[in-house]
Amino acid sequence: MRLHPLLLSLLLSLCLAVALIPAAGASDDVRLPHLGSSADQAFTQAEAAAYGASMLRQMRALGLVLDDPLATQFINALGYRLVSSSESPKTRFTFFIPREDVINSFAAPGGYVGINSGLITVTQSEDELAAVMAHEISHIEQHHLQRAFADASKTTPLYALAMLGALAAAVGGSNINAPMAIASLSQGLVVQHQINFTRKDEAEADRVGIQTLANAGFNPDGMAEFFGRMQLLLRADSGGYQVPALLQDHPVTTLRIAEAEARAHTLKAQMAQRQALPASSVRLPTWETTLIPVPMLRQPDNLFSAAQRSDAPGSKRAHDDYLLMRERVRVLSSTDLSALARYYADNLARHAAFGIPSNHYGYALVLMRSGHANAAREQLAPLLAQDPDNLPLRLAMAHAELLAGQRARALADYARISHDWPRNQAVALDYASALILDADQAAGAKAEALLRPQLDDSDAPEVYRIYGRAAELAGLKIRAAEAFADATFLSGHAAAALDQLTRLSQRADLDYAQRARIDARIAWLTPIVLDQRRLRANSGATGGSDDL
């Protein structure tokens, strides 16, 4: 679903409502995209987590999240490598990718960090991407917004809540005046943005972020390099990137770039001194000595390669994985496949330097999305010959074979991949999706067994939707209905999910355990739906749906 531009802009403003705080800056400096801030204001930890999760569901309801397992796995692995090297390595974070061309990133309550697809595709290295993420992590861990809101009115967040209610009505209903109503309500958000996020806080986030970057083994120059390139890009007004005025209101000055460069220089000098010391006296980087937080325990260190090769920051493997994921995000977030196909085809034909594996991979993904599976296989075959253990390449080839009608070959490929990556969500989801196309009980049972372990820690609606279909084929009708309700809720439609569960609870054939699970879900979900309805009522919205 494509949204009215005003609705899209206002939703993102709402999601960032207290995450993007402008600071004063020199009027003659080039203004760059603000890198966000924490929104952990006067919330308890539980309230912050609930708010962040709700925001993510709301964004999903409007199709604003790129829920791709491989890309999500990559961005979370990168994020948690940084978190494990930060000042608060036990803090729980959720990193996700908004499907948005704007060069921006933001943080929300509960440790939710969004890195826009437009920002990912404009970076040139994993170091640059990690630098942006380290900055966001630092804002959350340093409690900057909590300090900023210390003297603010406690009623300020109500402006955002009122706007959310109006947006729910606009999306769910047919009120043609909804955009103007939301625009009027959104004026309240101006109050939120008047609470200055100080230069001291920004400087601290840069300083702590660069330190985290270095601790995690990344090049500390990454932050200054990204700032500098963005300055040149926006000064030239080139590249075709959408940079809203809201984001340009927060300047990244030449002084800030110089300070980042100086800090990186100091850190590199310190790193060089440590390398000259005897090995027994050197303290290893935090990520090499600290247990990785729970969300990453189920994934191997070498995310995309079965071979035991280093994926440490700066390694060729890490750079190659970054490039593959950058192109994957570019393709999966694109709304103009024809233009993107021309971009790859023309550059591959004209520029030898463009012919690197990641660009052939991106072209193959475009071809598959455009219905040219055999052409995609031709792009992928030479890449797999050079790197036969690469997970994204192997999954892409199996999917291309499936689309090309080579079903038996594709399923055999998926079986081998699943053997090599038995706990990988992307593998389980792709394999299960291929299996359920058979629409028979045996295939459904196999797909259900593949996906059942993934339900333990996943909030991706597609995992529950595919699991539901697999369980249905396997004859597990109650499990299937529960999974479909979960998928509906995670997609941002809480009221519809509650209706599904309520109907399910009325079945006479439920056993004790099934009824207990369903009743527990209903009890947990009911307050969420009531809050949404109260929100809409307070905003004066009429008609439409309770969901967002």
Mean predicted confidence (pLDDT) in 263-267: 73
In this predicted model, which residue has the larger pLDDT, 351 or 159? 351
pLDDT 10s digits, 474-487: 999 999 999 999 99
In this predicted model, which residue has the larger pLDDT, 269 or 113? 113
Burial-class residue 302 by CB neighbours within 10 Å (0-12, 13-18, 19+): middle
What confidence score (pLDDT) does residue 67 get?
A: 95
What confidence score (pLDDT) does residue 252 get?
A: 60
CA distance 429 to 421: 12
Low-confidence winner among 49-58, 135-144, 268-277, 313-322 (lowest mean pLDDT)? 268-277
CATH code, residues 324-539: 1.25.40.10
In this predicted model, which residue has the larger pLDDT, 164 or 359? 359
Which residues, in sequence order, are bridge partners of residue 106? 114
pLDDT at position 494 over 90:
yes
If we measure between CA atoms, which residue out of 215, 64, 24 comes closest to residue 138? 215
pLDDT band at 40, cuts 50/70/90? Answer: very low
Where are the strands (E) in 231-343, listed by range?
none
Q: Note the pTM of the prediction, 2 decimals.
A: 0.81
pLDDT band at 267, cuts 50/70/90? Answer: confident
pLDDT band at 535, cuts 50/70/90? Answer: confident
23, 255 Cβ separation under 8 angstroms: no
pLDDT band at 87, cuts 50/70/90? Answer: confident
Residue ranges covered by each domain of the chain: 5-294, 324-539
CA distance 539 to 169: 9
What confidence score (pLDDT) does residue 127 get?
A: 94
Low-confidence winner among 33-37, 293-297, 301-305 (lowest mean pLDDT)? 293-297
If we measure between CA atoms, which residue out of 247, 221, 222 comes closest to residue 234? 247
CA distance 528 to 498: 10
pLDDT band at 35, cuts 50/70/90? Answer: low
Which residues, in sequence order, are bridge partners of residue 115? 105
Mean pLDDT, the chain, whole residue set: 78
Mean predicted confidence (pLDDT) in 425-436: 97
pLDDT 10s digits, 370-412: 999 999 999 999 999 999 999 999 999 999 999 999 999 999 9
What confidence score (pLDDT) does residue 191 get?
A: 38
pLDDT at position 245 over 60:
no
If we measure between CA atoms, which residue out of 82, 117, 78, 110 comes closest to residue 94? 110
pLDDT 10s digits, 148-192: 555 444 444 444 444 444 444 444 443 444 444 444 434 433 333
Mean predicted confidence (pLDDT) in 317-346: 96
Q: What percent of the chain has pLDDT over 70?
A: 67
SS3 of 144, please?
A: helix
CA atoms within 13 A on the CB side of 97: 28
Which residues, in sequence order, are bridge partners of residue 96? 114
Low-confidence winner among 56-60, 140-144, 281-285, 330-334 (lowest mean pLDDT)? 281-285
What confidence score (pLDDT) does residue 224 get?
A: 84
